[in-house]
Structure 1
Amino acid sequence: MKVCVIDDDPLMLQHIEAMLVERGYQVVTAGNVSDGLARVREQRPEAVVVDILMPDRDGLNFIMGMRDLRDDVRIVAMTGGGRLGPGPLLRMAEGLGAHASLTKPFSASELEAALAATD
């Protein structure tokens, strides 16, 4: 399975990429929402793991943009939550169309389960 990972934190991006590659996934990465949407158009991944809290456009904007771009992509939203805590942000992400959500930090097995789950 090809997965696009979108996160503005380069260390988190590398960490998630390494977790997925180790488990046999093909991974493309992006450091912001605009690049992430471009990667989805160009690379056609089956799933996207997107951080919610990012500067400029956030992960919620990405999820809304995916409605118009492709509706066949599994979206996993993730966040540490910032000042609000993760709950409200992840509920908003799921309300906008994310199929699963994860609170940072998470394990490789939790990530894999979120990518593999059926709705």
Structure 2
Amino acid sequence: MSLKRTVVHTAQRWLVNPLGRKLPVTMLETTGRKSGLPRHTAIGGRRVGDAFWLVSEHGEHSDYVKNIKANPKVRLRVRDTWRDGTAVLLPDDDPIARLRQLPGGNSAAVRLLGTDLLTIRIDLA
């Protein structure tokens, strides 16, 4: 694992995600691929119609992406409302171009901190 990814992963695990669980930020719930338990990750992105778009900064190295690969059924909390959805990994999508369509602050952080960008679309039920 690269030093950059290790530092970012540690900060997200111990600071960003615990705060995100308490704040009204967008939260992705996946099912742990080993434990079968719900796993929550604070994410940034944008809803467009019946889909939510985001870019994973560490691509297939992210635990939530590994969970999606094992089970694409997810839940998404936007503000205080949870919605069921199905996550689709889009390795052929241009993540830099996609970030230009998503909220600027989060997109800048993903570009700065990311090591292996991957676009994800969540089709909402």
Per the normalisation by structure 2, the TM-score is: 0.32
Between structures 1 and 2, the one with greater strand share: 2
Which entry has the higher C-alpha Rg, 1 or 2? 2
